[in-house]
Amino acid sequence: MRLSGKRVLVTGGARGLGRALCLTFAKHGAKVAFTYAKNEEAAASLSAELAAKGAEARAARLSVTDGKGTEALVKELEAAWGAVDVLVNNAGVTQNLPIALLEEDDWDKVMDTNVKGAFITSKAVLRGMIRRKAGVILNVGSLAGERMIEAPVHYCTSKAALRGFTEALAKEVARHQIRVLNLAPGLLEDGVGRNLPDYRLADYLKHCALGRVGTFDEIAELAAFLISDDNGYMSGATVIADGGV
């Protein structure tokens, strides 16, 4: 129960890694709010599962690029819970396209969701964190932003930008006792890597010391530690969990 009493907001929480993050945080005693873009069925399923486990949870259909909507959600959570202690910027998108086929709209969609969305949501929660002089922001990056691997250029660029955002923000808000971290997973059991051609998956596994992809639960448990008080002396760091690539 290392997150007992923590009030956590997870963006893009209805499916995949986001779902695992919400369930794991709740298991460790946190109150959990999550946003989702479109999938009402997945959001309702997660809400029901959290409720069945006795967790206090809230769901909001909201784009991370909606600044006014994000500010309203944060105010709503602060009114109900008193504060948001932890933000996890998990929402992200990608497209498996070579640069020759990328249009400007494709580039903008990925950059807006993966980078601008993290900025908008972080700015909204930071006001309260600064007042209280406490808080944690965890950005969910990717191995694609840390290594020279075969992946879509706009996705790699967005995840590399998250690392820079993490380091700059951590330096700026450290005087307010706020920690900012970046978690960069390798290939996982589903999500971004699910549409990879077989040869690319085989190449990844060939270079992975553990010889397998990771699971959502493994990454979620690591995230729970990173945002907890047990990890109080880490900030500005990127933690890579890739099985040893």
Tell me which of 155, 199, 204, 233 is the catalytic residue.
155
Q: How far apart, in Å, are the Cα atoms of 124 and each of 10, 78, 170, 193, 227?
A: 13, 11, 16, 30, 18
Name, in order, each residue with C-beta under 8 angstroms of 60's C-beta and a sequence gap of 6 or more. 33, 34, 35, 36, 73
In a domain, 16, yes or no: yes
In a domain, 23, yes or no: yes
Answer yes or no: 155 catalytic.
yes
In a domain, 174, yes or no: yes
What does the pLDDT profile of the chain (245 residues) look like in tens digits?
A: 899 999 999 999 999 999 999 999 999 999 999 999 999 999 999 999 999 999 999 999 999 999 999 999 999 999 999 999 999 999 999 988 999 999 999 999 999 999 999 999 999 999 999 999 999 999 999 999 999 888 899 999 999 999 999 999 999 999 999 999 999 999 998 866 666 778 888 888 999 999 999 999 999 999 999 999 999 999 999 999 999 99
In a domain, 244, yes or no: no
3-class SS of residue 179: strand
In degrees rounded to 5, what are phi and psi of residue 177?
65, 35
Q: How far is it, in rounded angstroms, from Cα 10 to Cα 130?
A: 19
Range of the domain at 49: 7-239
Name, in order, each residue with C-beta under 8 angstroms of 138's C-beta and a sequence gap of 6 or more. 86, 87, 88, 89, 180, 181, 182, 183, 223, 226, 227
In a domain, 134, yes or no: yes
**Region for 237 from its dihedrals, namely left if φ exceeds 0, alpha if ψ lies in -120 to 50, beta otherwise:** beta
CATH number at residue 136: 3.40.50.720
In a domain, 2, yes or no: no
In a domain, 18, yes or no: yes
173 token code pair: 């808000």
Q: Are 9 and 34 in contact (CB under 8 A)?
A: yes
Number of domains in the chain: 1
In a domain, 1, yes or no: no
Q: How far is it, in rounded angstroms, from Cα 129 to Cα 137?
A: 10
Alpha helices in the chain (DSSP H): 16-27, 40-52, 67-81, 104-111, 117-132, 153-173, 198-207, 216-227
